[in-house]
Every structure is written in C-alpha cells, then in structure tokens.
Amino acid sequence: MKSNGNWGETPWKVAFRAKAGTLPEEVDVAIVGGGFTGLAAAAMVKRLARERSVLLLEAERVGNGASGRTGGLVLGETAAGDLPGLGDVLQGYPRILEELGVTADLRLPGVWELARGTTSMDGKPVHAITGSPIEWSDSGKLEAVGTVPGGSVDPGKVVTGLARAAEKAGARIAERSRVAKIEFREPVRLYVERTRAGGRERRVIKAKQVLIATNAGSLELSAALFGGRQPAEPKLTFALATAPFSQNEIAELGLGSGRAFYTVDLPYLWGRLLENGGIVWGSGLVPGWGESARRGTRGEVERRRLWSGLEALDTRKGQAAERLRTLEERVRGLHPGLKKMRVTHRWGGPILITRELWPVFRKHPESEKVIVSGGYSGHGVALSVYLGERAARVMAGLATGNWELRR
C-alpha cells in the first residue's frame, strides 16, 4: 500500500523512522506489514526468542495503513463478538503494551453504545438507558443504550512505541520495502522491492517463518483467505477531529464520563475524546473501485468495474470528499453545542471487512510456515496487538494446541 498524502492528516503522529541498512539474505522470521499486528509480533518474537533474527518489511512507513489512521477505540473481543479459543483481548492488550514499555494514553472507562431505534444491527433488542447523558439528533433521537468494556488510546504513540520496542529488542525494520510476491517453498522466498534515494533495489529474502499482516493491502499474498464467494473488500473509511471543547461544553454534549461511543444501529457513527478536549468523529465507507470503458464488438460502450486500489482515493476529491462533507454536516447537526465546532483534521484510512466479521488468524493455505492475520473489520486496535503477540508465540515455538481462529 502506498503512502498517501491523498488520505489527509490525522491528529496523532508517528515519531519513528527505521534505520537504513542493507537487507539480509536470510532470516528466521519475516513479517510483512508495519501496522499494530506486524510491529507487536516483531517486538514479541524478539522478547520470546532472542536468538531468532527478525525482519519486518513495510511497503511505506510504519503506521501508513489503518494503524496510524485509526480512531483508537479500544474494544474487547472481535467485530463478530467472542470466538472459540480467542481468550481475553482486553486483558491482554494493556499487559502487552506494558511488557513492551509502550505508553500511549490508554484509558479504559468503558465505551457507550448508542442507538435511535429499539433493535441493533445484529437484531438484538436495545433500549435507551434511563437518564441517558447523550441526546443527539441523528436520523432520530440518538441515546445511550448501554456500555461495553473498553476505552481509547493514542494510535500514533502505539505505533511509535511498538516500532521502538521492536528495534530496541533487535528486530530489523525496513521501510519502503514492499513484498511483491511470495514463493511458498522451504524456506519461504519473499520478493522485495525497496525504494531508496538511489533508486529501486530488488531482492529475494529467504525466511523460515513468515507473518503476513498487510490488512487491506496486498490481499493477493493471502491467496484464498480473503477470497471465496463473498470476498472481503478493502474500503476507505473516514474521520475528522475538532479543536478542543471546554469541560462544560463536553459535559453538555453528554461526554463528561470521558467514554468513547459507537452506534449499534445505522447510520453508523463512532467517536472519542482527545486528550486536549477535541473530539474525533467517524463514519462512511468508499470501496476502491474504478470503471473502465471500452468499445464492444458492435461499437457500444461497455463499462467494467475494476479494482483500482484504495491509494487512488483522495479525501479532497470525489466520493471520498463527499463522505467527509456528509460526516461533518451530520456531526454539526447532532447537538447545538456542535454547530460551530472547528474541524482541525480530516482523513481516511483502509479497512478490511470480512464475511460475518470473523477475523482471519490462521496458517496460509499454501504453507505451514506462514501465518496470516487481518480482516478485523474496524475492530482491530486491541485485537491486532493481541493476535500479533499470539503470532509471535507460534513463531517462537511456544504455542501449544490449536492456535488458529477457525469456524
């Protein structure tokens, strides 16, 4: 996935640049993708098996994908709820961050669930709680219907902290190093294209074990895992951040508890407070489809839907800009206290929503030595780090029993 000025600016920053250096020819563990999953796995493999050589290959800069652009709501379980063999994500997340020395403004006061109707999108009955502090106008009266465990974190600090922890533990991080192809032999061969000041360098790296953690990018590396009859479709999703509100203004909006929130019915809306009193709001999806037109045999114009990649979408233009405009108008209309809010940041980021919202965490169909982790369906802040650690345990030879998440 390419670095993208097209996707706008976030209020959080990633303060990490990998050291340049030559790429090795062989490694014990290669990790593809420098988001939360890949970075947590890299740091953890070195912590669990210091003697193994670890190389993380990131197509652009670490945090260039969803992890640097996420909303940072920390949620338990998965987008599909609890799954067999998953364990306790919300218990594992703070523990892993602490073990790796990552401090990132993690707060866990719970998260509001909001709704306007009496049925959630997965068909469960919901009812506004008595004295809901939130009363917003959004296709009906939007109120709190309950809380779930969780909270929020600064995603820029998490990416930065995990990358530093990985490098400090002895993992190599190579940015601007895209894996173009994988050959599933023993050892596995990774075809890497690295962009440097002097031009492009191509190299084949042999790895005994591999983790593919590219999320919405490079789905072809994961073969049929994101394919099938209803393939997971990468999309761009959107968010904006506001200038700070005063404590009183925040209390009037109903957010005095400091809890983040998301709707359990549609239209979808989520949000959270920033440390400075600003608020982040998010919603909307645009797939990376384009169209091609060509003349058919009888001279008629045929249009075809073509996968053109999310990089082509620009939050300043077209459908993506429209989604951001709609989001902003919607938020201004929620409550009188938001009418004059000042928007400081507008951005989009990639998301991979899978069928029935199950994440993928399993062996690659073509190799026992390759793990694929991803498709968290907008629910990956805590889960990515948690499964990154589990992947590290497997690659360090410490996982016992069935570690895959499977139906």
Q: Which residues bind ligand FAD (CB under 6 A)?
A: 1, 32-38, 57-60, 64-67, 69-73, 75, 178-179, 213-215, 217-218, 237, 239, 282, 349-351, 374, 376, 378-381, 384
State the residue for tokens 């014990």: 28
Smallest distance from ligand FAD to CB 53, Å: 18
Q: CB–CB of 163/174 below 8 Å?
A: no
- How far apart are CB 399 and ligand FAD at their closest, in Å? 19
1 or 145: CB nearest ligand FAD:
1
Torsion angle (degrees, nearest 10) of CA 4, 220, 68, 389: -160
Nearer to ligand FAD, 11 or 374 (CB): 374
The CB-of-69 to ligand FAD minimum distance in angstroms stands at: 5
- Residue 192 CB, shortest distance to ligand FAD, in Å, is 8
Nearer to ligand FAD, 130 or 280 (CB): 280
Question: Alpha-carbon distance 394 to 122, whole Å?
Answer: 33
**Closer by beta carbon to ligand FAD, 213 or else 274:** 213
Strand-strand pairing, 270-273 and 279-287: antiparallel
Q: Look-up: residue for tokens 């889960």? A: 383
In angstroms, what is the minimal distance from the CB of 182 to ligand FAD? 9
- As a dihedral over the C-alpha atoms of residue 91, residue 97, residue 100, residue 104, rounded to 10 degrees, the angle is -160
Instruction: Considering the complex, state which of residue 141 and residue 189 has its C-beta at the smaller distance from ligand FAD.
Output: 189
3-class DSSP state of 108:
coil
Q: Name residue, tokens 């990649």.
A: 309
Q: Which residue of this chain has its Cβ atom nearest to ligand FAD in the complex?
A: 380
Nearer to ligand FAD by C-beta: 148 or 243? 148
The least distance separating ligand FAD from the CB of residue 239, rounded to whole angstroms, comes to 5
Identify the residue whose tokens are 């570690």. Answer: 403
103: nearest Cα among 161, 16, 188: 161
